[in-house]
Amino acid sequence: MGGYIPNSAAAQQAMLESLGLTSVQQLFDCIPSEMLVDHLNIPEGMSELEVGEMLTAMADKNKRFSTVFRGAGAYNHYIPSIVKAVTSKKEFLTAYTPYQAEISQGVLQSIFEYQTMICQLTGMDVSNASVYDGATAAAEAVVMCQERKRSCAVVSGALNPHFIEVIQTYCGSRGIPVEILPVQNGLTDPAALSAALKADDACVLFQNPNYYGLLENCDALTEAAHAVGAKAVAVVNPMTLGILKTPGAYGADIAVGEGQPLGIPMAFGGPYLGFMAATQAMMRKLPGRIVGQTTDAKGNRAFVLTLQAREQHIRREKASSSVCSNQALCALTAAVYLASMGPDGLADCAKQCLSNAHYAASEIAKIPGFGLRHNAPFFHEFVTECPICPQLLNEKLAEKGILGGLPVEGGILWCATEMNNKNQIDRLVEILKEVAAQ
């Protein structure tokens, strides 16, 4: 596969005709016109060097932050150089699942290794080959839990709001009731959950750490779900599983999440990676692809696509899921990242995130008006009050090259990872003091 594949005007016209189009512009009709660039005003006759300099100057108009204190679903982590070195190899550089297993053994093996690592990370029995993103994974988990006499999904209000929106979209078209459980002091209350659960509830979804960065009582939430015969679905940050109790350890039936922290750049919001793992009892309901290991006619180790009968391209309208592909390149990236970090490296990274966040929280909370909103254990995100307009505060921080926390309900959701050292945190605190004093 080449990095640059030229084609002639005649070849472009032939492709357009095969698609029933008359111009390339028609390919982008779904995008609002105000978001499209008509042309770049590049003078004719410029050399490649000159054009490169001109485009670089255009790109420099974008605001790039040297320091990031924002999370809320996308996290700034260090990515070892070996990750890009492996994933950029031409043999692997595809975002799609192979359909011809007999000639795609390398890609299938990488997916198999990814599935194995996700199972080890989550403590679950089986993993699929990934889905589009964490929100899709959460919504697909709800569909997995549907039974003839059980349909309602009870979702913690402390779940990432984008995940909630996607779940509601999925369930709205399928007639699945979704009940949002209000949070108390930033957490999901197990007693309130038990009181709210009904005999026809199919599943309970909770996030740990939750959207506010707080650690939920996962054992109690899982027990409450199982007490009424509902499934427990845990939405987890994979980075935390280097040191926190796994979903398998506290009895979750399904574990899902966003795999972006595992070696995938923030990259303006994607492409990302939704991972899904489940107990063996739920295996046949897992959507998407599962790669299995077997032997060929000569007894050699080989890999196959298996358990595909659920999928849209096989069963069409009878399929239990409309996901018939996966984020193969992102899954490979996660696998290479996990392999390069190893269990000790992942745990060390998680401990650095934890340490940096707690130092940042303690220092920010000392500033008048910036007290911590919740008195509960947290991982690497936390919410503080904000005595001034959060948007104005972030504008002031942006002037200093800092991407501030995310404004939430009158406060600010901050995040610190291993990328935020003491000097950066101290500088943030000094700027906050200056802005608050003004």
Which of 90, 120, 117 has the alpha carbon at shortest distance from 106?
90
Mean pLDDT value of segment 270-277: 93
pTM of the model: 0.88
Could you say which of 288, 320, 336 is where a domain stops? Answer: 336
Same domain for 303 and 381: no
Q: What is the pLDDT of residue 95?
A: 55
Start-to-end CA distance of the chain, whole Å, equals 57
Q: What is the pLDDT of residue 289?
A: 84
* CATH number, residue 390: 3.90.1150.10
**Distance separating alpha carbons of residues 328 and 151, to the nearest angstrom:** 31
Same domain for 253 and 296: yes
| Residue 429 forms part of a structural domain | yes
Mean pLDDT value of segment 258-284: 93
Strand partners, 381: 415
Same domain for 110 and 73: no
Same domain for 102 and 212: yes
Q: What is the pLDDT of residue 126?
A: 97
17-43 in b/e form (b: 16+ CB < 10 A) is eeeeeeeeeeeeeeeeeeeeeeeeeee
Q: Which two tokens mark 50?
A: 């000159």
Residue 323 in this model has a pLDDT that exceeds 80: no
277-290 residue pLDDT tens: 999 999 989 988 88
Coil, strand or helix: which one is 95? coil
87-143 residue pLDDT tens: 988 877 765 666 666 667 888 899 999 999 999 999 999 999 999 999 999 999 999
Mean pLDDT value of segment 38-60: 90
**Distance separating alpha carbons of residues 6 and 2, to the nearest angstrom:** 10
Same domain for 407 and 262: no
Which of 421, 430, 433 has the alpha carbon at shortest distance from 69?
421
| Residue 57 forms part of a structural domain | no
Cis peptide before 271 (omega within 30 of 0): yes
Residue 41's φ and ψ, nearest 5 degrees, are 55, 45
Q: What is the pLDDT of residue 334?
A: 97
Residue 188 in this model has a pLDDT that exceeds 70: yes
Task: Round the average pLDDT of the chain to a whole number and report it.
Answer: 92
356-367 residue pLDDT tens: 999 999 999 999
Q: What is the pLDDT of residue 96?
A: 63
Could you say which of 315, 336, 357 is where a domain stops? Answer: 336
pLDDT band at 1 (very low <50, low <70, confident <90, very high): very low
Same domain for 116 and 190: yes
Residue 264 in this model has a pLDDT that exceeds 60: yes
Same domain for 224 and 101: yes
Same domain for 364 and 261: no
Q: What is the pLDDT of residue 270?
A: 82
Most confident of 153-157, 320-324, 409-413: 153-157
Could you say which of 302, 336, 370 is where a domain stops? Answer: 336
Give the Cβ contact number of residue 188 at 10 Å.
29
Which of 123, 110, 154 has the alpha carbon at shortest distance from 255?
123
- Indicate the angle between helix axes 422-437 and 328-364, nearest 10 degrees: 60
| Residue 401 forms part of a structural domain | yes
For the purposes of burial, counting CB atoms within 10 Å of the CB of 436, is it exposed (0-12), middle (13-18) or buried (19 or more)?
A: middle
Q: What is the pLDDT of residue 116?
A: 97
| Residue 262 forms part of a structural domain | yes
* CATH number, residue 107: 3.40.640.10
| Residue 107 forms part of a structural domain | yes
Same domain for 204 and 328: yes
Radius of gyration of the chain, Cα coordinates, nearest whole angstrom: 24
Same domain for 283 and 253: yes
Which tops the pLDDT comparison, 392 or 324?
A: 392
| Residue 20 forms part of a structural domain | no
Q: How many domains does the chain have?
A: 2
216-239 residue pLDDT tens: 999 999 999 999 999 999 999 999
Which range among 14-23, 320-329, 383-392 shows the weakest confidence by mean pLDDT? 320-329
Q: What is the pLDDT of residue 311?
A: 61
Q: What percent of the chain has pLDDT over 90?
A: 76
Same domain for 252 and 105: yes
Task: Give the structural domain span for 377.
Answer: 67-78+342-437
Give the Cβ contact number of residue 182 at 10 Å.
11
Q: SS3 letters for 291-307?
A: EEEEECCCCCEEEEEEC
| Residue 61 forms part of a structural domain | no
**Distance separating alpha carbons of residues 158 and 170, to the nearest angstrom:** 19
**Distance separating alpha carbons of residues 312 and 314, to the nearest angstrom:** 5
Same domain for 249 and 366: no
| Residue 55 forms part of a structural domain | no
